[in-house]
Structures are given as C-alpha cells and as structure tokens.
Amino acid sequence: MHADQIKSRLKTTFIGRELYCLETVDSTNHFARNLAENGALDGTIVLAERQTHGRGRLDRSWYSPPGLGLWMSIILRPTIAPVLAPGLSLVTALALAKTIERQLRLAAKLRWPNDCLLEGKKTAGILIDLAADPKLVRFAVVGIGINVAHAIDDFPVELREEATSLSIAAGRDVDRVDILLPFLAELESEYLRFLAEGLAPIINHYTTRCSLIGCQVDALVGEKIISGTAIGIASSGGLVVATGEQEIILTAGEVIRVR
C-alpha cells in the first residue's frame, strides 16, 4: 500500500489527509501516539504492512503479519469530556460493520466493546489510547486491526478456531484498499454524527449487531465476579447486565466471559 495511491482515492474531508504508510513498526498506536503528542493533525492515519508488537485490549498481543491485513491507527481530536470517550470504540466498530455489510454482503456482528465477528469468529479488533485532561480529551488514538487477506493456514494453529478474515468469510480474495477507503468514509460519517448528536443514534444501530445481547455473561468488577444477562447498551456506551437483583453497567475495562 502506498500513501499516494490511497490519498488520491479518499472520499473523506479530513480523515487520512495526513497519512503515514510504514513497512514495519512495533505498534501503530505507539507510533501514532508520539505523532499526536507532537501536534499531528486531527484525522492523521498511520498504516503499517507489519507490526512486531501489535496490541489488543488488556495488553493482549495482536497477530499482524505482512501484507494480509489492515493494521492502522487514527488520531482524533474530539472536543468531548473523557467520560464520553468509550463511545469512540462503538463508533469505529459500527463503521466497520457497515462497511463489511455493504462491500461484501456479509452479516457482521459486534462483540462489545471492540471486536468485529464474522460467523462467530473474530476478524477485527479496536483499541483506544486516550490522552485527556480532567474535563477534556486532548486526543484519542484509535487502533484498528482487520484480518483481510488471510487464508486459514496463515493463522497460527492456536488462532484458527477463533479467528477469520474477510477473504475467508467472503469466499474470495478481498483487496485491502477496497475495504480501507469505504471504511474511512464510513468512519468519518459516524464520527461526525457522534460529535453532533451524541452516542444515542449510534447505540440503536450498534445494539442490533451486538452479539452479547441476550447472552449470559460473567464480568470481573473490582475483585468480584458478577453474572447476569446482557440486555443492552447504556447511554455511556457501557454494557447493561441484569443480574436478577439489579442492572449493572459494565465499562470496557472489565473482562467479559460468555457462558
């Protein structure tokens, strides 16, 4: 992938207008955070062919081989309070699901708070790194990993039961740039909607695709494990779990296990 090739076909107003295409990087989020700290523009994107230390949520590693996926981070500078920042993960996930549905005619499901699933297997993950003052977000780095062109043999053996790619699910080769461009346009649209209208209109569309709704889940809240049924998404972007005695809103930092 080359920056000029991508920028010449962009249909966005600000996302991706500043674009770094790297061969190898330890983590696109780490690279982008350094750029953001040094004043990088709103909408700057870092794309890499390969990550040597890609990260997922809760410091899990993210398998990022060369040439097979979209490994990227986007710098955003929303003028919102930090309490609203978890909504960025939902906005990004919804934009990706809509892109997959429109481009590939596949039914994408979202596993709260940050995974995109196809046929029950993970094809993409999102990681938000935030820099904020007490009352205002300074910037957010939205890390996105999308498995695009993998065949099943391209995954390590230990991932083959739980991971998939767009090409596997579609049953044909999928070009990375053909997914990247409409995704960025969709993301910009959903993000601007979020800034203008809040999370409420996003939640309605997200909830219909959320794979956890109606499931029995366990979550670690502090040092206590609570169990219940996931019944919806709160206005804050948290997962609402009914325990039988009360309804609890989980944050993205809590570990969810589906039973």
Same domain, 161 and 235: no
pLDDT at 255 over 80: no
pLDDT at 163 over 60: yes
59: confidence class by pLDDT, cuts 50, 70, 90: very low
- The domain tally of the chain equals 2
Q: Read off the pTM.
A: 0.91
Same domain, 203 and 222: no
d(CA 162, CA 178): 25
- For 192-228, the DSSP string reads HHHHHH-SHHHHHHHHHHBTTTT-EEEEEETTEEEEE
Structural domain harbouring 252 = 216-258
Q: What are the pLDDT digits (tens) for 172-190?
A: 999 999 999 999 999 999 9
Per-residue confidence (pLDDT) for residue 53, from 0 to 100: 67
Last residue of a domain, one of 209, 229, 248: 209
- What CATH code is carried by the domain that includes residue 165? 3.30.930.10
pLDDT at 210 over 70: yes
pLDDT at 61 over 60: no
Same domain, 17 and 129: yes
Q: What are the pLDDT digits (tens) for 83-97?
A: 999 899 999 999 999
- What CATH code is carried by the domain that includes residue 249? 2.30.30.100
